[in-house]
């Protein structure tokens, strides 16, 4: 099995690695709902952090706990996966305060589904506040102490340093992969990039690093993807729907970059060493590319998106928020204004658990025709 097949298997069998890892190591596995949660203290303690993801398939179970008319498809989907027992192997559940939908999923999960340990990390919405770092350090101290109390072991500075080093290496490797997409003829498809990215949310980082090193070593042997369509950027809510991503490219566009929390945004910004290790983690939380909910009152995202447009020579943007995703919905007009100033058209496609292929096909084809004509 070559490395791309391995990555594909991990993403299409998202629970298999963690279950096998738990059996082999007798270690503990913690699920988390938001990538604002720093994983390094968990990893340093010998715990495997796994991002809880949906299946993008229809569900009915979540309505018992979440009113379907008010919650986004991601919230309903992950709640349904928990109710179906897909995550019964978890020893713990963690969340870093972000949107209200996932916060309520966290509360519903720990009240109604079996879980041995749970922790809510409070992070400020106003990340630009001059007191934010001091506050976050205090929260991270509680976070680390809670992990240590649960496991009945201390996390040493050496263990934390090693975890930070492994995670930073993982970020560097994935950013090398993304940098390759700047080429005139990128070596990967968008779905391949997505599999590389999403697999890193599901397995331990040392294993992921080994797989990424193999991917990068094989790049000189790869042919370009052979698609000369308009260069596209994908923006919006989390997106693990590989079929949807493949569908976009199948119509003739070339997706060269994304800003998903399940994609590039998860990997950007390394932890810069500080004497206070938790202070270094706090600095990364503040400085990393923010999600829309952590980007107030001053907006940094427009300048960041504009920079990506230039670096990847983006010709059009497809914005894919989940239906009822308020943070990304509020982000839309700000980004649209930024892109308009750069003369970059944007197509908005709201996602749900079912993709209206016919409608989306017509809209994407019309969008690509406009880009080609211009």
Assign 3-class secondary structure to 13-24.
Answer: CCCHHHHHHHHH
**What's the pLDDT tens digit per position in 24-64?**
999 999 999 999 999 999 999 999 999 999 898 888 888 88
Q: Are 353 and 58 in contact (CB under 8 A)?
A: yes
Q: What is the predicted pLDDT for the residue at 226?
A: 61
Q: Helix H segments across 288-325?
A: 301-311
Q: What is the predicted pLDDT for the residue at 142?
A: 98
Mean pLDDT (the chain) is 93
Q: Cα–chain-centroid distance for residue 195?
A: 12
Q: What is the predicted pLDDT for the residue at 297?
A: 84
Q: Helix H segments across 181-298?
A: 190-199, 205-218, 242-250, 264-267, 277-287
d(CA 297, CA 147): 32
HSE-CB of 9 using CA atoms within 13 angstroms: 9
Q: What is the predicted pLDDT for the residue at 69?
A: 76
Handedness of CA 292, 294, 296, 298 (dihedral sign): negative
d(CA 65, CA 78): 12
**What's the pLDDT tens digit per position in 170-211?**
999 999 999 999 999 999 999 999 999 999 999 999 999 999
Q: Helix H segments across 113-183?
A: 132-151, 157-180
Pick the closest to residue 239 from 320, 310, 312, 164 (CA basis). Answer: 320
Sorted by where each starts, the structural domains of the chain and their CATH numbers stand as: 3-157 (3.40.50.11890)
Pick the closest to residue 230 from 306, 342, 347, 316 (CA basis). Answer: 316
Inter-CA distances, 18 with 51, 89, 163, 348, Å? 11, 8, 18, 35
**What's the pLDDT tens digit per position in 6-25?**
999 999 999 999 999 999 99
Q: What is the predicted pLDDT for the residue at 374?
A: 58
Handedness of CA 131, 128, 291, 102 (dihedral sign): positive
HSE-CB of 366 using CA atoms within 13 angstroms: 10
Pick the closest to residue 28 from 103, 119, 111 (CA basis). Answer: 119
Q: Which of the residues in the chain have pLDDT under 50?
A: none
Q: Are 31 and 94 in contact (CB under 8 A)?
A: yes
d(CA 244, CA 240): 9
Pick the closest to residue 46 from 122, 160, 140, 139 (CA basis). Answer: 160
Q: What is the predicted pLDDT for the residue at 101?
A: 92
Pick the closest to residue 47 from 155, 142, 138 (CA basis). Answer: 155
Task: Give pairs for 165-168: CB < 8 Å, separation 24+.
Answer: 166/43, 166/205, 166/206, 166/209, 167/39, 167/40, 167/43, 167/205, 167/271, 168/270, 168/271
Q: Are 51 and 238 in contact (CB under 8 A)?
A: no
């Amino acid at each position: 099995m070559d490395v791309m097949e391995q990555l594909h298997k991990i993403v299409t069998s998202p629970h298999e690695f963690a279950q096998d890892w738990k059996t082999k190591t007798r270690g503990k596995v913690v699920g988390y709902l938001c990538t604002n949660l720093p994983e390094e203290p968990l990893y340093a303690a010998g715990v495997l952090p796994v991002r809880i993801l949906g299946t993008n398939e229809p569900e009915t179970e979540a309505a018992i706990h979440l009113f379907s008319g008010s919650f986004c498809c991601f919230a309903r989907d992950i709640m349904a996966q928990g109710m179906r027992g897909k995550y019964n192997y978890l020893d713990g559940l963690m969340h870093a305060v972000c949107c209200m939908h996932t916060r309520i999923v966290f509360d519903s999960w720990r009240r109604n589904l079996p879980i041995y340990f749970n922790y809510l990390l409070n992070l400020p919405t106003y990340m630009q506040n001059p007191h934010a770092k001091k506050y976050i350090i205090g929260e991270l101290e509680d976070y680390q102490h809670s992990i240590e109390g649960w496991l009945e072991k201390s996390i040493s500075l050496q263990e934390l340093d090693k975890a930070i080093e492994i995670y930073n290496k993982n970020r560097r490797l994935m950013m090398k992969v993304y940098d390759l997409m700047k080429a005139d003829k990128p070596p990967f498809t968008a779905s391949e990039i997505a599999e590389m990215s999403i697999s890193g949310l599901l397995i331990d980082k040392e294993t992921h690093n080994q797989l990424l090193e193999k991917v990068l070593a094989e790049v000189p042997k790869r042919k370009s993807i052979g698609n000369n369509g308009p260069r596209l950027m994908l923006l919006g809510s989390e997106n693990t729907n590989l079929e949807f991503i493949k569908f976009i490219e199948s119509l003739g566009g070339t997706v060269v970059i994304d800003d998903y929390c399940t994609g590039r945004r998860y990997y950007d910004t390394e932890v810069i060493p500080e004497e206070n290790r938790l202070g270094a983690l706090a600095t990364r939380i503040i400085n990393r590319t923010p999600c829309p909910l952590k980007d107030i009152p001053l907006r940094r995202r427009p300048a960041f998106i504009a920079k990506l447009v230039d670096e990847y020579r983006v010709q059009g943007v497809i914005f894919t928020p989940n239906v009822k995703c308020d943070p990304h919905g509020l982000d839309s007009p700000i980004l649209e204004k930024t892109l308009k100033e750069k003369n970059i058209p944007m197509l908005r496609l709201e996602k749900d658990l079912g993709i209206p292929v016919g409608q989306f096909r017509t809209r994407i084809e019309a969008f690509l025709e406009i880009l080609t004509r211009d």
